[in-house]
Structure 1
């Protein structure tokens, strides 16, 4: 079984149990804290992915690192991953958990890149328009790229909506090149 499929299955099971138990918010907080620690600690991630370190030791290390920082239910999940020899998937499971939660909640993550900083009204109008376009609540991550000259580029999953001056110039160049 590929790691992506396994990660998604564990994430789905965790989300299902958290929803049934009514502790999704607690699980989200726990996993956000774990995500930060794992992202900052290359050694921890390496240890989790190492086939040389046995599952019991991985579980003890996770318990030591996150004791008091996460709930008992989250620790039980970590122990399950370690027992099933899937501790190396922890970071991927957390990402899949977030994606599934967003999917179930009707939330879509959108990357918006603009040439200049958008003011609050522009951001609000753009987000509202994207919400209508997607039919979902939009969580936008705004960034700047001065090389765009003007306009905005929006990425929604695999879809890119490019309304930048640079893109328009490239299209014009291509169109003129074909006519010549």
Structure 2
């Protein structure tokens, strides 16, 4: 994502965040936005219509209102329709990502992707959450477990743009780089 797209998406996300924080609906708004993002990203026809320059703003807004109807709250709907008014519909998904970052920061939560060779138990996920939450100074980590057979063993944890690689394949790669550099 370019810096311009990121900064524009961040402004819309920040405005929405301020509105919903004041009325205490951060979690509900995040859930609604994740649904909006999923619908837009999973539906190629909708994405094509939203990005088509010959389809009028009125038609795009009408379509989005029909698609999401009463599924989303007024602040979310207003933000999305405002983005369409200003020809920023291609940035809706980026705005959702920026909103989630703001909401997570407010709650002291971070999202983590944990790569492992097998599905981790709830206890293992909680232990990883606790350990890495302390390392990145947040109250809690929401862990998503992804299976990656290439790791051979161990885990790799991705939190934002930080990666903690404790996998066997990662260790072997580090050893290989050391041997080559000597």
Q: Does the pair score TM above 0.5?
A: yes
* 2:79 aligned to which of 77, 80, 83: 77
Find the aligned partners of 2:137 and 2:8 in 1 and give their Cα distance. Answer: 29
CA contact (8 A) 2:154 2:166 kept: yes
Q: Which residue of 2 aligns with 1:32?
A: 34
Find the aligned partners of 1:122 and 1:30 in 2 and give their Cα distance. Answer: 29
CA contact (8 A) 2:125 2:143 kept: no
Q: Which residue of 2 aligns with 1:115?
A: 117
Give secondary structure in 1 for the equivalent of 2:50: helix
Higher alpha-carbon Rg: 1
RMSD, aligned α-carbons: 2.0
Q: Cα–Cα, structure 1 residues 170 and 13, in superposed 2: closer, same or farther, change >3 Å?
A: same
Q: Cα–Cα, structure 1 residues 55 and 119, in superposed 2: closer, same or farther, change >3 Å?
A: same
**1:117-174 alpha-carbon deviations (Å, 9 max, x no partner):** 3333322222111111111111111122222121111112222111111122222233
1:154 aligns with 2:157: yes
Q: Cα–Cα, structure 1 residues 146 and 75, in superposed 2: closer, same or farther, change >3 Å?
A: closer
Q: Which residue of 1 aligns with 2:95?
A: 93
Give secondary structure in 2 for the equivalent of 1:138: strand
Query: What residue ranges of structure 2 are gaps of 5+ in the alignment?
Result: none
Provide TM-score, normalisation by structure 2: 0.87
